[in-house]
Structure 1
Amino acid sequence: MATPLRVTGAWVQLLTHWLDDQQLPAPELRVLLDSRAPADLVPMPLWQSMLEQAVAMAPSRSLAALQIGAQIKPRHVGVLGYLLLACHDLAQGMAAYQRYERLFYGDDLVQVSLGTNEVSLAWPAEASTGELADTVAIAALLCLLQRLLATPLRPRRVSFAFVAPAEAGAYASFFGCPVTFSAVVTRVDFPIEMMALRLPRSDPGVQQLLHRQAQALLLALPDSDAFARALQHCMLRLLPEGTLSLNRVAAELHLSVRSLQRRLEARGESWSGMVDGVRQQLAQQYLADSALLLSDVALLLGFSEQSAFNRAFRRWTGDTPARVRRRLLLHS
């Protein structure tokens, strides 16, 4: 059975920024958008419905969808957007997207192929999310790459799986290349030389830390219920920021502190036990990675000082992070 596609609360805020840009009040739609925290998982049918409500207010349906995608900033894609920002070049960035796409859609869909003269990103037609959502996604992809590169970017061609809309000409004008419809895949083809373009904000240290965070988020995707997933995602996102607290998580999940505590108690959990459990699980994963310094591990787990991490780790395991790392690396 195919995994139901979804997007994130951070992604749907593209609509909020478009409404602001167009100076559209849209009170009912804004209430719905504001009810989604960045870490929330938004089912694809709800996202499609939001888009339908938005473009109904615009004179041009196709142009509105393209404009919504053009609002993209790294924050709309969460940790994946910031990871792309820290990559060395476009080839590395596309590899990161392929590796972590599941954080965005809930499934691995993109197929990257290299030819002699071009590189292609393709999504199967059966995974199409419809005219509006597909348009927003591909427009956002191209605009995000342009922002990351700080240079004009033109693909060789763009193909969509949906039938040609009435305003098909708006697509060729927006992408600056031939655009086809009713294709067997949704696809973007780039000149191969673009893969070597340097990303101006590349930061290897930040990139390494974001890779670890993305890997941790992948581990938390799973077959757990919606509340558990939302809680895990929120905790994993806030840990490296050093802002993880009961009040902050309750606010992110749109719950009162007492409601969150009651839900944890119903599962036989406590807040402190949850934080310790997440940190201990991640610590084992991070310590097994020789590329991370112990100070990096402490930072990723949200400790202000390595000494605080050492004390917590000894409380969890009765041992020190350094000794556990030596054993893990010895048996790896």
Structure 2
Amino acid sequence: MTFTRSSIPTVSARIGALILQRASGLGMDAGQLMSGTGFDPAWLDDAEARMPLAVEERLWTRAVELTGKPSFGLLAASLIRPGEFDVLDYAVRTAPDLRTALQRLARYNRLLHDLASFEIIPLGEVTRIEHRFEAAGMQPCPPAAEFTLASLVVVASQLGGEPVPAQAVEFRHAARDEVDSYRRIFGVVPSFQAPVSCVVLASELLDRPVPAADPALSRIVTAHAEQLLAACDRQPENLAMQVRRQLAEGMAHGMISLRTVAGQLNLSERSLQRRLASQDTSFADLVDEVRHELARRYMADERLALGEVAYLLGFSDPSAFHRAFKRWTGTTPAAARRMRH
């Protein structure tokens, strides 16, 4: 997915839920942790919710501060259990071997994170897995980077039924804790301030069959993951444009609501709001933009009285239209009409 300057990268709110759960397990108050981060508690009850990447980073930073554990990301990874990341998780865990599991992670990770990517590089006896953000000038915050690489080793060990020690680990950031914290997870002491964050695993381990592999379930899960991935690719078709069209078509028949537009697009109100936010806009912003554009068109038709223009734009009364028009143009509707002569 390509991001422009106006795009807001998002991640699954499941990551936020995981951070909160891990911090709560250390005795932290969830409300205190969420305070000031921008995390909406409603996301905890919405399996499809996504949150801005900036919110995730603030949660990681605050969790480190409140728990007093610089290696909080490593701790969070050590407690990973099956199913915490839904379809992505099951696609990985039903793979026939660790190499296929990594390939699925690389392919389907966009279901969880807009920017994070994995590159799997075979190097003979070892395989290097590099983790980065696909956006110029951006990189994972240190706790998130440590959680991600530690998760690779933890999940690989769970799948294989035995510890999978790393051959080497590298992080872009400086060391954040005592080396023993890293050695307990990875089996080695990482290198720090490296060009890219990565973990290196023995190739022969990656080709071992996963004892609990389930081919039938694997086919079902990966088919579903492919459908979700295709939906991600279609989303930039620009939902905002679809909403604008619905507004323009329905406005003359009375102001149409968020509920109405969401129903026309086969979305819940919450999903529509969330997806518009991911495109750096909102339903209210689009209503205002469409009204402004239509106002210019209607004002050019002098057969329409100003009261009729207000009605066609869905305003409840002419005074509301008057205020909006002055905000858009700096002048009143009547003055704008006079200036045309």
Q: What TM-score does the superposition give when structure 2 sets the normalisation length?
A: 0.63
Match of 1:35 in 2: 42
Of the three residues 151, 161, 183, the one matched with 2:194 is 183
Whether the 8 Å contact between 2:167 and 2:200 is mirrored in structure 1 is yes
Aligned pairs (5 A) from 1:191-270: 191-221=202-232, 222-223=235-236, 262-266=257-261, 269=264
Name the SS for the 2:104 alignment partner. helix
Q: Is the 8 A contact 2:116 2:132 kept in 1?
A: no
Is 1:17 matched up with 2:21? yes
Match of 1:327 in 2: none
| Alpha carbons of structure 1 residues 207 and 168: separation in structure 2 relative to 1, 3 Å | same
Is there any run of 5+ residues in structure 1 with no aligned partner, and where? 229-260, 274-332
Per-residue Cα deviation, 1:72-115 (whole angstroms, up to 9, x for no partner): 22322220101111111111111111221221222462111111
Residue identity in the other structure for 2:261: A
Question: In the alignment, residue 52 of structure 2 is paired with which amino acid?
Answer: P
Determine the C-alpha separation between the residues in 2 that align with 1:123 and 1:150: 24
Counterpart of 1:46 (choices 24, 42, 55) is: 55
Per the alignment, do residues 86 and 179 of structure 1 end up closer, same or farther by CA in structure 2, a change over 3 Å counting? same
Q: Deviations over 1:232-279 (max 9, x none)?
A: xxxxxxxxxxxxxxxxxxxxxxxxxxxxx9535125617599xxxxxx
Larger Rg: 2
Describe the shift of the 1:270–1:15 C-alpha distance in structure 2 as closer, same or farther (beyond 3 A).
closer
Q: How many correspondences in the alignment?
A: 240
Q: Percent identity?
A: 19
Change in 2 beyond 3 A, CA 1:84/1:61: same
**What are the residue-to-residue correspondences of 1:108-187 with 2, within 5 Å?**
109-124=117-132, 127-165=138-176, 167-187=178-198
Match of 2:86 among 70, 78, 81: 78
Separation in 1 of the partners of 2:98 and 2:119? 16
5+ unaligned residues in a row in structure 2: which ranges? 242-255, 269-341
User: 2 CA distance for matches of 1:44 and 1:111?
Assistant: 21
Q: C-alpha separation between the residues in 2 aligned to 1:197 and 1:179?
A: 25
SS at match of 2:172: coil
Match among 61, 69, 83 for residue 60 of structure 1: 69
Instruction: Give the Cα–Cα distance (whole angstroms) in 1 for the partners of residues 155 and 16 of structure 2.
Output: 15
**Normalising to structure 1: TM-score of the pair?**
0.64
8 Å Cα contact 1:160-1:182 kept in structure 2: yes
Q: Tell me the C-alpha RMSD between the 2 structures.
A: 2.9
Cα 1:272–1:177, aligned 2, differ >3 Å: closer, same or farther? closer
Mapped to 2, the partners of 1:225 and 1:19 lie a distance apart of 37
State the alpha-carbon separation in 2 of the partners of residues 16 and 268 from structure 1.
33
